[in-house]
A and B are shown apart, each in its own frame.
Chain A
């Protein structure tokens, strides 16, 4: 038996013994585990599952053992993912620490920074938020104004961020700050980490069109942060910021993937099942136009899934995600929005409820998810920004603003 097959057998056995039965059912939004100091577990099995996976480092299977990761090779990690899928295991932990900060900290952080932060990300002990966007700096992120000024051994931070997802429930923030305002905008930015409990940090939640309130305005009023919390070189934060965005975009693009639980709509129905149920006789979709649109969608979703896999295979040959992350982000997000529009077309007025008992909870959830999906082509860089990145970075087309300015 090859080493890989041996690994598969041992992983399978371990999962058999350690994955609680209720963690092998489709994820319920309420039970997604984000971790953190104040983590709440509406299902006690979620806590158990997180502790076991965290201890093994399998929440971050390929990260080095030295920092608490699983230390697996890419092939082993692919096998683990297959085994997790095989038993329909839920993700033990969802976090910005895993999908965004961890990878860049491993790439740019010092040994001490990694020792301090990576193990707690792996075990879900610290929840991170992302302090990028500001009121005046959205797509033009590099024009950000939040300032950090060195004062003794600390940076003193002043300014404000906006759309900071989960800032009010996060423990730490990775934050872009201006450390030099005399130079061109990209050259004076630094990447810094700090505790959200530091004095001078405050947050104000903002409500989304879906009614949920997952993001905030975040204010910094003379927040003192030890200078050692700066990641990478001073004023070189833009490099790290862009790298992190590639990881973020790859993560967001996975919303477009058909597999797993995300494909599930009202009461766990797939798009096809919903169309059969609400716009058919239970076994057939009666409307040929809707059927054709769903066929086109399904076909595009399969093509996209193959492309995500191919991109992963290719990025293994080079290193990490690259400009194709913009392609995946753009396409995956458009796909996810289409999925919900089709879901609404399938469900008719059953998907148009807001609250109360005239609708069942699964139907009400779809209405909210549909609204939430509209953010996919805004968060992590808008669709237009992704197309700009592809045009310039991948296709090498000239930048009009630069041409006009010169």
Chain B
């Protein structure tokens, strides 16, 4: 059985990550980036500090300059950053792209890009979805063979950190059509290549995302990441990792909201008593507590599955994404309701969590998508 409790190293990392996010990267960072309509959408100075803390090398093998601390470690960091809704390239570059390279990259690609990710020189983004709903096999963007390479045409939406990425990992159709499983390949595309246009999408949660259009973009055969035509399993592995990482981030966010709720329940008085003495609110808080405990367990189990390269990864990824999305949704809504009028004000932070909950839930498949997938993986 996987260990469902943290060991000493992991506990130390957790404390360090929490204190960094509390002191250096609180929620006010997101507010500032939003209010100033920051064109980067993240704080490069903070990112540099995160690189120095070693967070970019958390899951990267030592042979490529990383620390091989595993997904447990990255999950701990993501959980901490979820508490302050920190915008950083951690998800796009480390969780998604480093994983993509580690699993699907050629030796040359690994050597070229993994060390660059670890020391913070490279930001990468994953471009998958093309429609309002997540559907990894539904790829219309085409890659047609050209002189010693491919020519890419099409567009992608909801590309996390798309507007700051140096390089993009793009899913493309090399054969077949519609949502055929076969015929999908992944490519490494320079964001600066001729024909690439990147438009920042102003998201409700103020996280960085972009729409990317590729117009006759030429790539070489060496830019293929993983197998030609049979890239879907690799893509699914990347997405599973993404879902598990996002679940860890949501776990941090929901705990933060819950603690803020509890503080308010103890402190706000009406009818001469703290509102937390009212049983209607107590029972809802207690039910949320149970749900959050469930989320902790599924996130730990899913991160462990990644570290053990278990065949249970797909199922646990859908479990974690579905459960955490559902609970974060509930808790963030209760966050508004239990704060009353002040919860509705922009000046107060709680609304940021509600906004993030909806966006992160939609990213890489919402509960409906993942319940269906979970059922299929369970054989029904």
Given contacts A387-B286, A395-B285, A400-B278, contact A306 B374 (CB under 8 A): no
- Judged by a CB distance under 8 angstroms, whether A137 is at the interface is no
Nearest opposing residue in chain B for A78, CB measure:
B1
Asked if A303 and B319 make an inter-chain contact with CB atoms under 8 angstroms apart, the answer reads yes
Measured between beta carbons, the chain A residues less than 8 angstroms from B371 are 292, 295-296, 299
Measured between beta carbons, the chain B residues less than 8 angstroms from A358 are none
Nearest opposing residue in chain B for A276, CB measure:
B380
Measured between beta carbons, the chain B residues less than 8 angstroms from A299 are 319, 322-323, 371, 374
Measured between beta carbons, the chain B residues less than 8 angstroms from A111 are none
Given contacts A387-B283, A400-B278, contact A395 B298 (CB under 8 A): no
**Smallest beta-carbon distance A140→chain B, Å:** 15
Q: What CA separation (Å) do A78 and B266 show in the bound complex?
A: 41
Q: What CA separation (Å) do A331 and B288 show in the bound complex?
A: 11
Asked if A391 and B282 make an inter-chain contact with CB atoms under 8 angstroms apart, the answer reads yes
Of B15-23, B91-99, B269-277, which stretch is located at the interface? B269-277
Of B289, B319, B374, which contacts A390 at CB under 8 A?
Answer: B289
- Judged by a CB distance under 8 angstroms, whether A88 is at the interface is no
Nearest opposing residue in chain B for A272, CB measure:
B380
- Judged by a CB distance under 8 angstroms, whether A398 is at the interface is yes
Flag B363-379 by CB within 8 Å of A: 1 or 0 each.
Answer: 00000100110110011
**Smallest beta-carbon distance A139→chain B, Å:** 13
Flag A394-406 by CB within 8 Å of B: 1 or 0 each.
Answer: 1111111001100
Number of A-B contacts (CB under 8 A): 124
Q: What CA separation (Å) do A314 and B285 show in the bound complex?
A: 22
Of A276, A309, A327, A398, which contacts B293 at CB under 8 A?
Answer: A327
Asked if B378 and A309 make an inter-chain contact with CB atoms under 8 angstroms apart, the answer reads no
Most chain A CB within 10 A, of B262, B278, B371, is at B371
- Judged by a CB distance under 8 angstroms, whether B296 is at the interface is yes
Flag A324-340 by CB within 8 Å of B: 1 or 0 each.
Answer: 10010011000000000
Q: What CA separation (Å) do A331 and B294 show in the bound complex?
A: 10
Asked if B301 and A306 make an inter-chain contact with CB atoms under 8 angstroms apart, the answer reads yes
Asked if A390 and B300 make an inter-chain contact with CB atoms under 8 angstroms apart, the answer reads no
- Judged by a CB distance under 8 angstroms, whether A52 is at the interface is no
Flag B246-289 by CB within 8 Å of A: 1 or 0 each.
Answer: 00000000000000001001100000011011110011011101
Asked if B266 and A397 make an inter-chain contact with CB atoms under 8 angstroms apart, the answer reads yes
- Judged by a CB distance under 8 angstroms, whether B297 is at the interface is yes
Asked if B375 and A390 make an inter-chain contact with CB atoms under 8 angstroms apart, the answer reads no
- Judged by a CB distance under 8 angstroms, whether B5 is at the interface is yes
**Smallest beta-carbon distance B157→chain A, Å:** 26
- Judged by a CB distance under 8 angstroms, whether B203 is at the interface is no
- Judged by a CB distance under 8 angstroms, whether B3 is at the interface is yes
Q: What CA separation (Å) do A127 and B5 show in the bound complex?
A: 37
Nearest opposing residue in chain B for A304, CB measure:
B294
Asked if A391 and B273 make an inter-chain contact with CB atoms under 8 angstroms apart, the answer reads no
Measured between beta carbons, the chain B residues less than 8 angstroms from A331 are 290, 294
Asked if B278 and A327 make an inter-chain contact with CB atoms under 8 angstroms apart, the answer reads no
- Judged by a CB distance under 8 angstroms, whether B4 is at the interface is yes
For chain B, what secondary structure do more than half of its interface residues adopt (helix, strand, loop), or is it mixed? Answer: helix
Asked if B277 and A398 make an inter-chain contact with CB atoms under 8 angstroms apart, the answer reads yes
Q: What CA separation (Å) do A309 and B283 show in the bound complex?
A: 24
Given contacts A292-B371, A298-B378, A303-B319, contact A397 B285 (CB under 8 A): yes
Nearest opposing residue in chain A for B368, CB measure:
A292
Nearest opposing residue in chain A for B4, CB measure:
A310
Nearest opposing residue in chain A for B318, CB measure:
A299
Measured between beta carbons, the chain B residues less than 8 angstroms from A392 are 282
Asked if B5 and A306 make an inter-chain contact with CB atoms under 8 angstroms apart, the answer reads no
Flag A379-398 by CB within 8 Å of B: 1 or 0 each.
Answer: 00000101110111011111
Asked if A403 and B4 make an inter-chain contact with CB atoms under 8 angstroms apart, the answer reads no
Nearest opposing residue in chain A for B265, CB measure:
A397
**Smallest beta-carbon distance B139→chain A, Å:** 26
What count of chain B residues pass the 8 Å CB interface test? 39
Given contacts A398-B274, A398-B276, contact A303 B286 (CB under 8 A): no
Q: What CA separation (Å) do A315 and B1 show in the bound complex?
A: 16
What count of chain A residues pass the 8 Å CB interface test? 44
Measured between beta carbons, the chain B residues less than 8 angstroms from A306 are 4, 294, 297-298, 300-301
Q: What CA separation (Å) do A292 and B276 show in the bound complex?
A: 35
Asked if B4 and A309 make an inter-chain contact with CB atoms under 8 angstroms apart, the answer reads yes
Nearest opposing residue in chain A for B380, CB measure:
A272
Nearest opposing residue in chain B for A386, CB measure:
B286
**Smallest beta-carbon distance A121→chain B, Å:** 28
Q: What CA separation (Å) do A400 and B278 show in the bound complex?
A: 7
Most chain B CB within 10 A, of A276, A306, A387, is at A306
Q: What CA separation (Å) do A284 and B372 show in the bound complex?
A: 14
Measured between beta carbons, the chain B residues less than 8 angstroms from A231 are none
Measured between beta carbons, the chain A residues less than 8 angstroms from B319 are 299, 302-303
Q: What CA separation (Å) do A317 and B215 show in the bound complex?
A: 59
Q: What CA separation (Å) do A304 and B372 show in the bound complex?
A: 19
Q: What CA separation (Å) do A354 and B342 show in the bound complex?
A: 55
Asked if B375 and A307 make an inter-chain contact with CB atoms under 8 angstroms apart, the answer reads no
Asked if A395 and B374 make an inter-chain contact with CB atoms under 8 angstroms apart, the answer reads no
Given contacts A295-B371, A306-B4, A403-B277, contact A395 B378 (CB under 8 A): no
- Judged by a CB distance under 8 angstroms, whether A264 is at the interface is no
Q: What CA separation (Å) do A179 and B293 show in the bound complex?
A: 39
Beta-carbon contacts under 8 Å, B1-42 to A = 1, 3-5
Most chain B CB within 10 A, of A294, A295, A398, is at A295
**Smallest beta-carbon distance A72→chain B, Å:** 17
Asked if A400 and B277 make an inter-chain contact with CB atoms under 8 angstroms apart, the answer reads yes
Q: What CA separation (Å) do A285 and B375 show in the bound complex?
A: 11
Asked if A309 and B1 make an inter-chain contact with CB atoms under 8 angstroms apart, the answer reads yes
Asked if B273 and A400 make an inter-chain contact with CB atoms under 8 angstroms apart, the answer reads yes
Measured between beta carbons, the chain B residues less than 8 angstroms from A400 are 273, 277-279
Beta-carbon contacts under 8 Å, A229-265 to B = none
Measured between beta carbons, the chain B residues less than 8 angstroms from A330 are 286-287, 290
**Smallest beta-carbon distance A257→chain B, Å:** 13
Measured between beta carbons, the chain A residues less than 8 angstroms from B298 are 302-303, 306
State the B residues within 8 Å of A (CB). Answer: 1, 3-5, 262, 265-266, 273-274, 276-279, 282-283, 285-287, 289-290, 293-298, 300-301, 319, 322-323, 368, 371-372, 374-375, 378-380
Q: What are 11 pairs between A and B in contact, CB < 8 Å?
A: A299-B319, A303-B297, A307-B293, A313-B4, A314-B4, A388-B283, A390-B286, A391-B279, A397-B274, A398-B276, A398-B277
Q: A284-B380, A294-B380, A387-B286 are in contact. List 11 more A-B contacts (CB 8 A).
A: A78-B1, A272-B379, A291-B380, A295-B372, A295-B375, A295-B380, A300-B323, A306-B300, A306-B301, A395-B285, A397-B274
State the A residues within 8 Å of B (CB). Answer: 78, 272, 275-276, 284-285, 291-292, 294-296, 298-300, 302-304, 306-307, 309-310, 313-314, 317, 324, 327, 330-331, 384, 386-388, 390-392, 394-400, 403-404
Sorted nearest first, the 9 A-B pairs with minimum C-beta distance are A391-B282, A310-B4, A390-B286, A295-B375, A306-B297, A400-B277, A387-B286, A397-B276, A303-B294
